[in-house]
Structure 1
Amino acid sequence: MRRADRLFRIVQFLRSGRLLTAQKLAEKLEVSQRTIYRDVQDLQASGMPIEGEAGVGYTLRRDEDLPPLMFTREELTALVLGARLVRAWGGAENVAAANQALQRIEAVLPAELRNDFDSILLYAPGFRMTKLLRDRLDMLHAACKTQRVVRFGYVKEDGTASERDVRPLLLAFWSGAWTLAAWCELREDFRTFRMDRMQEVAVLERTFVPKRGQRIEDYLKMLPAQDRHLFG
């Protein structure tokens, strides 16, 4: 992680309003406590209103934090529901980011909206997303971004099993299930695979360059016109 990114994340952690020790920050950022002490000193020297000391903990002074975020109640509801959906159905990295986002939003809301934050009664239980599926989602998303071939066993709804090498394009969430859209090297065509029917998923070292007729935009053109807008 770049130092600038680490400093930014320290400020975001402290913005939650809780007292965090250097040890806790070091665990979150996977660095030494000595590094945290040095980073906090540099942030304080730059004018960041961080209060606390080594051995006790640190927090960000609220009265000099970011100005209050102004949302309509409908916008706030949409943001919180979106974060809860990500927390319920996202990968492990998405869950951590959603939790941080909720903490940051709540920390800078004006008092009159903070009560509304707690009264949003829209939830998204994610009991079907096991740790295996969350980790797999992160793995496949990384493969899409780095354009690395993925190998897995796949069992279709009728029980037919096969081994696939695919060029991953995108992940989509449909009716309670994540699917991977990819160019299948076995079928030499686009295929969509349910993530929960994959077995022994492995991201290979082999990379690919999307070719004409095998790109995301080519895949989207195959979808019914009424579904294309769902991919924004």
Structure 2
Amino acid sequence: MSQLSRLINILTLLKSRRVLTATELSKRYDVSIRTVYRDIQKLIASGVPVVTLEGKGYTLMDGYTVAPVQFTEKQANALITAHHLVNKSKDASFVKDFEEALIKIKSVFRSSVLEKSEILHSKIHVFEPQQENLASNSLSELQLAITNLNYVEINYRKANDTHISFRKIEPYVFFSTENKWILLAWCHLRNEYRAFRVDRIQHFKILSEKFVDRKFNIQDYFAAQAYAYKKRNPTET
């Protein structure tokens, strides 16, 4: 059983208003006591109010309920499939936040839907060609900078270049291609829109200072890129 599946099962037991001990959970899922402790901390980090009753075990905080949302089996399957695709992302923050969200979502699945979703989870595989072994851990934070119009300072290294440049940027849009996240932003060093591979950002700092939205349009951006390429290569058809 995967950690995510175990967390959902523990949460389901807690929702039944049971008091669970670490020893009981350890035996039920055939894991160590230390693993149970980590699971409980993972639930707490996901926003689930797990309370420790001294000398008794774990339970949920009084009054805690989940939203009365019902998912169909197809909707649950879509989430399970998305989970497999997200796991291929090279950004650790994005994977972590999705898994924590999925814990909360799966906690409202009907038992029959939850059981079938676990079956499907083991029957989906995503393969990908060998790619650069680069990873990032900044996507979730940079997404907040986009929605809140915060300036970001970055240290950036281009491909095949050992030089790291300092940039102050206005982040606008993310897109993904070949499992790589690309950030389109206004670069104050170059005084124009630039594309930055997120896995090549060596360090970043989100500033409290806000920028004025330039109303960036991704279609206009790609049209301008295509026009500039055509001017540089007039003989290509």
Partner SS state of residue 17, structure 1:
helix
Cα deviation code 1:5-61 (max 9, x no counterpart)? xxxxxxx9974335667x947982599x9x958xxxxxxxxxxxxxx998332269x
Is the contact made by 1:106 and 1:117 (CA closer than 8 Å) also made in structure 2? no
In the alignment, structure 2 segments of 5+ residues that lack a partner are 1-7, 22-36, 224-237
User: 2:57 corresponds to which residue?
Assistant: 56
Question: Contact 1:84–1:123 (CA<8 Å) still a contact in 2?
Answer: yes
Give, in whole Å, the separation in 2 of the partners of 1:67 and 1:148. 34
Distance 2:158 2:12 in 1: 45
Q: Quick check: which one's helix share is greater?
A: 1
Change (3 A) 1:170 1:14: farther
- 1:17 alignment partner AA: L
Contact 1:15–1:107 (Cα < 8 Å) also in 2: no
Shift in alpha-carbon separation, 1:20–1:85, aligned structure 2, 3 A: farther
User: How is 1:115-126 mapped onto 2 (pairs within 5 angstroms)?
Assistant: 115=116, 117-120=118-121, 121-124=123-126
- Tell me the distance in 2 between the aligned counterparts of 1:26 and 1:123: 25
Q: How many residues are paired up?
A: 185
CA distance in 2, matches of 1:29, 1:76: 23
TM-score, normalising length: structure 1: 0.59
TM superposition shift of 1:68: 6.1
Task: Give the TM-score normalised by structure 2.
Answer: 0.58
1:194 aligns with 2:209: no
For residue 57 of structure 1, what is the amino acid of its counterpart? Y
Partner of 2:44: 28
Q: CA deviation at 1:187?
A: 2.0
Distance change (3 Å), C-alpha of 1:181 and 1:29: same
Match of 1:17 in 2: 13
Quick one: structure 1 residues 191 and 20, their matched pair in 2 at CA, closer, same or farther if it must change by over 3 Å?
Answer: farther
Closer, same or farther: CA 16–88 of 1 in aligned 2, 3 Å: farther
Distance 2:57 2:88 in 1: 34
| Alignment correspondent of 1:185 | 188
Alignment partners' CA distance in 2, 1:181 and 1:199: 17
One-letter identity of the residue aligned with 1:119: L
In 2, the alpha carbon distance for the partners of 1:87 and 1:123 equals 11
Q: Counterparts of 1:59 and 1:105 in 2: how far apart (Å)?
A: 17
Identical positions, percent: 19
What is the CA RMSD across the aligned residues, in angstroms?
Answer: 4.4
